[in-house]
Structure 1
Amino acid sequence: MNFKSPARILKVVMTHSLDGTSRETRLDLPTRKAIKKIEFTPEFMGAGEYKIEWRALGTDGHVIKGDFSFEVSG
């Protein structure tokens, strides 16, 4: 994940869905420092839909949040 300005990542959750079943995993944060780029290597759960939801704190104290999703076919 890339940010325009440094931010301190507070929480990242990955949800994997397949055939009506969902599994939510909170990802371990590699740092608590304000950063512009962060990478995760979560456990791959195979085919299905993935949603990543995140929350961060900007250097000005403003809470930032967002999400993105993708699908893996198999």
Structure 2
Amino acid sequence: MKPTLLALASVLATATAALAHSKAEGTTPADGATVESIEAIELRFDDPMRVTAIALAGPDGDLEITRETGLDPVTEFRAMPPENMPAGAYTVDWRGLSPDGHPMQGSFGFTVSD
């Protein structure tokens, strides 16, 4: 391979790696799940994520949740919802910073049954 092509291939490979960002790999409850109750809200990431904000909205508006995980970058984030959540649809919205400082956000929903 010519030196110029080899250098270009090296630069492209480095740029691709630099553009990779953490992503959510799973949640508890799972997105779209119907559950009887919920003990914790969990987010799992492929690389450490600094979760900077998390909010829970339900059928009667926003609910207060308690962060169990601090602001350090983690691959597993956990927060505690209020006890005895009423039946209905809920949405979790989160924001964070990936290891390269890129802002990330996501949401997922679940339903608590009667």
Q: TM-score category by the smaller chain?
A: 0.7 to 0.9
Gaps of 5+ in 2: 1-42
1:58 corresponds in structure 2 to 98
Structure 1 position 26, deviation (Å): 5.1
Over 3 Å counting, the alpha-carbon distance change for 1:62 and 1:26 in structure 2 is farther
What is the Cα deviation at residue 28 of structure 1?
A: 3.5
Matched residue, 1:34:
73
Task: Give aligned pairs, total.
Answer: 70
* Identical counterparts, % of pairs: 27
What is residue 62 of structure 2 aligned with on the other side? Answer: 24
Of Structure 1 and Structure 2, the greater helix share is in 2
Give distance in 1, aligned partners of 2:101 and 2:65.
Answer: 22
Q: Larger % of strand: which?
A: 1
Q: Which 5+ residue runs of structure 1 have no aligned equivalent?
A: none
Choose between structure 1 and 2 for higher RCO, CA contacts under 8 A separated by at least 6 residues.
1
For residues 8-53 of structure 1, the C-alpha deviation after alignment (integer angstroms, 9 at most, x for no partner) is 0000000001xxxx31135343311000001122104210101000
**Larger CA Rg, structure 1 vs 2:** 2
TM-score, normalising length from structure 1?
0.84
